[in-house]
Amino acid sequence: MQDTQAATILQAALAHVPFDGWSEATLSAAAADSGLSPALARALFPRGGVDLALAYHRAGDAQMVQALALEDLAALRFRDRIARAMQLRLSVAERELVRRGSTLLSLPQHAGDGAKAIWGTADAIWAALGDTSDDINWYSKRASLSAVYGATVLFWLGDDSGDHADTWAFLDRRIDNVMQFEKAKAAFAANPLGKALMAGPLKVLERISAPKRAEDLPGRNRA
């Protein structure tokens, strides 16, 4: 019930964001438009506009995952699968709503929320593409993709090229940089010096593991 009510308020808020931003005014207007009480809206979005903006971001991640599941990715190179996932993520976003959210989440008091949201998008992409890493690579992959996504969003916000062609070219260049880094990392691990360091000073990295997903926790009901 609460998820449905939250979705209703978020949907009602979208028409107000271009004028009032992700703000208290938008939350109040969304509650009024949806016929729900201001008290309920506050309970569902206790930090007002910030929580609304984050809910919009998470909804976009979910839409991207759903769209990606319908794609035929088998014939694509892995780097092209990543590019396609990011294209889908931006295709389900409205630029003015993202612009308003970026402005809000760039404020010092909300920067942590913004970084967490971008990390969540990177995690959603890797998970949807079947990433099974459970060591330091889990973190490095998401850190790299977070940087690519964040830079691409900023470029996209100012891109007026037809069909966002300049954004997709920018994205391709950033992904190429990541792939070059991954190749360099693999080469380092394979050469004698890298092997020696991984067996000695860097062996501690082997102890780092990925966090457990909610669905993998003991005792959680499975469908």
Q: What is the pLDDT of residues 168-188, one digit of tens each?
A: 999 999 998 877 755 555 553
Closest Cα to residue 152, out of 183, 118, 200, 124?
118
pLDDT band with cut points at 50, 70 and 90 for residue 2: confident
| Mean pLDDT score across all residues of the chain | 85
Q: What is the pLDDT of residue 159?
A: 96
Q: How far apart are CA 10 and CA 27, in angstroms?
A: 8
Q: What is the pLDDT of residue 205?
A: 40
Kind and range of the H or E run holding 133: none
Q: Is the pLDDT of residue 202 over 80?
A: no
The residue count of the chain comes to 223
Q: What is the pLDDT of residue 191?
A: 58
- Dump pLDDT digits (tens) for 35-71: 999 999 999 999 999 999 999 999 999 999 999 999 9
Position with higher pLDDT, 196 vs 118: 118
State both tokens at 207: 């102890």
Q: How far apart are CA 190 and CA 215, in angstroms?
A: 34
Q: How far apart are CA 221 and CA 137, in angstroms?
A: 28
Q: What is the pLDDT of residue 145?
A: 92
Kindly list the structural domains of the chain, giving each domain's residue range(s) and its CATH number in brackets, ordered by start.
47-209 (1.10.357)
* φ/ψ of residue 217, rounded to 5: -70, 140
